[in-house]
Chain A
Amino acid sequence: MVHTIKHTQILGLLLLILMTVSCERDISEDAVPATFPTTAEVYTDNPVGLTDEFFISFDPAGGANPEAFGTDDNEAYLGSSSIRIDVPAPNDPNGNFVGGIFKDRGDGRNLTGYDALTFWVKGSLTGSLEAGFGTDFEIDEFPVSAFIDLATDWRKVIIPIPDPSRLVQEKGMFLFAAGSFDVLGDDNPDVATSFDDNVGYTIWIDEIRFEKLGTLGQGQPKIFNGVDETLETFSGSTIQTTGISYTANLPSGMNQSVQLSTNYFTFSSSNPNVATVTDTGEITVLTSGEATITATVGNLSADGSLQITTTGDFENAPDPTLPESDVLSIYSDFYSVIDGLDVGAFNNDGINIEAQTFNGNELIEYQNLGFVGIGWNDTVDVSGFTHIHLDVQRLTSGSNFIVELLDYGPDGIDNGFGDGSAGGFNATSQMIDEEWVGLDIPLNSFTLPTGAGGAGNPNLNNIGNIILVSNSGAFLIDNVYFY
């Protein structure tokens, strides 16, 4: 299903332009920008103006089932034929979901005169379908899609176009994706086997076209989920605009929300000296001060914003001074990072773990820290070292900070304190709010009992985790190594 660009067509267009221009010395005042066809229909009883193999599947390597797509001459909302999608069951050897795009066969269409993509759809079961437009597998500049609940009779679907003026040359005419039907309503993305009891079913789609309805209203874009957020941060940090969506009210009175590309948005900063924002919503904080990031789609102001207060330059923890040959590094940009590092191998509910980068140096921020295990592949033998080093910055005034070491024992498995052992060291008294503190803890100082039941004074031959414990404090962590 690989699509090849029709070079001959592009050549033809170039020739045409060349000829037109060469007729006159200056561009005529009558000249208008080239416009592309405004064909509305995408599929009626046949594909309209689409590529020869008009369905282009998502990559089968990713599980897409290209065999599940076809047309049906026995079912149609209107006329004689419809698109038939046989949504595969989870165990289908050809792939466990179906999806792809329809693409314009020419150089794209001018959709600026339309306000919606519409089609009729029904399912053999009341499953759901993701559908939209704007994805062409080339530049994917203006994707829009929505999740549609199916009925077992024909229903008309209206996908609002957030800002039609953007779509002067769009090739992505239609996109859909559907997965198996969750009969018992027990699908859990974290449990692969929860999908095993799902079933396949059939979806029919007909009369796909762009329309100028005039009955859509109350268009409302959102950034940051429509919330006016505040953030205190340092210069040098970067933040991606998240929580973007667009909702329009349909003539039925229902609100229809769509997912959309950041390319529909125009982002702006109230103070570009303090923070800048790119066309794709990436915010870079430059210097101390205040700036608010807002956005528009067309002439509609987005709900939600980010008010940034910059407290000044962020100072990274000082670089370690020991040569790498003298240390066993767990986490540091200065040294290598241990294989299989997991900065949240286990942790309390409600913790927020984030990697942040300031001036090219990555560090870890833990917010609402109760406990977190830092883990890696296998275990390490640190009996030949005398200390562990951590750079720690406390962000919440007065919060406790305890470091624990967990030794898995000779079996190398985290299976309790039969052969394992653990101990803790309370570093709270050494913490200074909002300043880096270099902790250098002697390995024979982990004498405290641990929260999980370790008795203190752990063995050092099979260390599997460094555990950080607090009372819901927030901390920055960098440069963790044994020496």
Chain B
Amino acid sequence: MKKFLKKYITAFIMVPIFLLQACDLDETQEVVTKNNLVWADEFDQDGAPNPQNWNFEIGDGTEQGIPGWGNNELQYYTDRPENVKVENGVLVITAREESFQGSNYTSARLVTRGLFEKQYGRFEARIKVPYGKGYWPAFWMLGVPETAEEEWPQIGEIDIMENVGDEPTIAFGSMHGPGYSGGESISKEFELDGDRFDTSFHIFGIEWSPNRINYYIDDKLYQSLTPEDVDEETDGEGVWVFNDRPSYIILNVAVGGNLPGNPNAETIFPQSMVVDYVRVYE
């Protein structure tokens, strides 16, 4: 979800074709196979998020060289309790409409970078998202650069959960790498039957193994991606970069920009993404 999403629509037209050709999921395949818990934050201690687990990325992306975080997003990320806190057993990331440091919205973006970085495993979180045009909550991972020169998308991006607030029954999982990034990412939507992502908690996860990433929501496996899929999707141009390095976890709520569109008059602020836990298994 990091950058260059202008061809987003094209990507979504291509995805179903790809799936028909390449993603005949085995009905008997188990949703998860990794059950040995190796890292977790249950968000049981009220206050600021545990600094042993989470760092903050502050600002509007300018400092990182990508103003609007590469997507014309409208929010300024802070580590203030107004935007991020742990209370009543959950992590609450709150997007607010307020004038702050030249932006009209504030929110928060938490990363485990430098604190918890891991290659392979089962990464899952139990999350409830906000609703309304312009909200763009996400639970995702970026690869750790080995040198200062290494940049996205070479480092690889795994989007475990993204949602846009005006599609309350739909979430999507994606991967970005060289030859399939931004609007050309490999992605699939999952639509809930008889439920919504903003009114109840759901579990979003991946199982990441050498040469395979499985995406699941609750007990449903809905996407399984391999190097062969990347080959087919990109006519052999794309490179599977997910055997290369560990990744870190990111939780954030973006507001506006290329993907969700900007908030409208009916969008209610403030609202929060609520995270019950993040767990990592081997």
B-binding residues in A (CB < 8 A): 212-218, 249, 251, 253, 255
**Inter-chain contact B169/A218, CB cutoff 8 Å:** no
Known A249-B131, A253-B133, A255-B266; contact A215-B195, beta-carbon cutoff 8 A: yes
Asked if B166 CB lies within 8 Å of chain A CBs, one says: yes
Contacting residue for A218 out of B167, B192, B198, CB 8 A = B198
A-binding residues in B (CB < 8 A): 131-133, 165-169, 192-196, 198-199, 266
Known A217-B131, A218-B131; contact A253-B195, beta-carbon cutoff 8 A: no
Determine the distance from Cα of A212 to Cα of B193 in the docked complex, in whole angstroms.
11
- Among residues of B, the one whose C-beta sits closest to the C-beta of A220 is B268
Known A249-B131, A253-B133; contact A217-B196, beta-carbon cutoff 8 A: yes
Which B residues touch A213, using CB under 8 A? 194
- Among residues of A, the one whose C-beta sits closest to the C-beta of B166 is A253
CB distance from A151 to the nearest CB of B (A): 19
CB distance from A40 to the nearest CB of B (A): 15
Which A residues touch B167, using CB under 8 A? 253
**Inter-chain contact A249/B168, CB cutoff 8 Å:** yes
Known A249-B168, A253-B167; contact A215-B266, beta-carbon cutoff 8 A: no
Contacting residue for B165 out of A212, A215, A253, CB 8 A = A253
Determine the distance from Cα of A216 to Cα of B131 in the docked complex, in whole angstroms.
12
A contacts with B: majority SS: loop
Which A residues touch B194, using CB under 8 A? 212-215
- A214, A215, A253, most chain B CB atoms within 10 A: A253
- Among residues of B, the one whose C-beta sits closest to the C-beta of A218 is B131
CB distance from B170 to the nearest CB of A (A): 9
Which B residues touch A251, using CB under 8 A? 168-169, 196
Which B residues touch A216, using CB under 8 A? 196
Which A residues touch B166, using CB under 8 A? 253
Known A253-B133, A253-B167, A253-B168; contact A217-B266, beta-carbon cutoff 8 A: no
- Among residues of A, the one whose C-beta sits closest to the C-beta of B266 is A255
Determine the distance from Cα of A309 to Cα of B57 in the docked complex, in whole angstroms.
48
CB distance from A308 to the nearest CB of B (A): 28
CB distance from A468 to the nearest CB of B (A): 40
- Among residues of B, the one whose C-beta sits closest to the C-beta of A251 is B169
CB distance from A252 to the nearest CB of B (A): 8
Which B residues touch A212, using CB under 8 A? 194
- B132, B168, B198, most chain A CB atoms within 10 A: B168
CB distance from A113 to the nearest CB of B (A): 13
CB distance from B149 to the nearest CB of A (A): 42
CB distance from A150 to the nearest CB of B (A): 22
CB distance from B264 to the nearest CB of A (A): 10
**Inter-chain contact B133/A215, CB cutoff 8 Å:** no
- Among residues of B, the one whose C-beta sits closest to the C-beta of A211 is B194
Determine the distance from Cα of A252 to Cα of B59 in the docked complex, in whole angstroms.
32
Which A residues touch B192, using CB under 8 A? 215
Other than the given A217-B196, A218-B198, A253-B168, 6 more pairs (CB < 8 A) read A213-B194, A214-B194, A215-B169, A215-B194, A249-B168, A253-B165
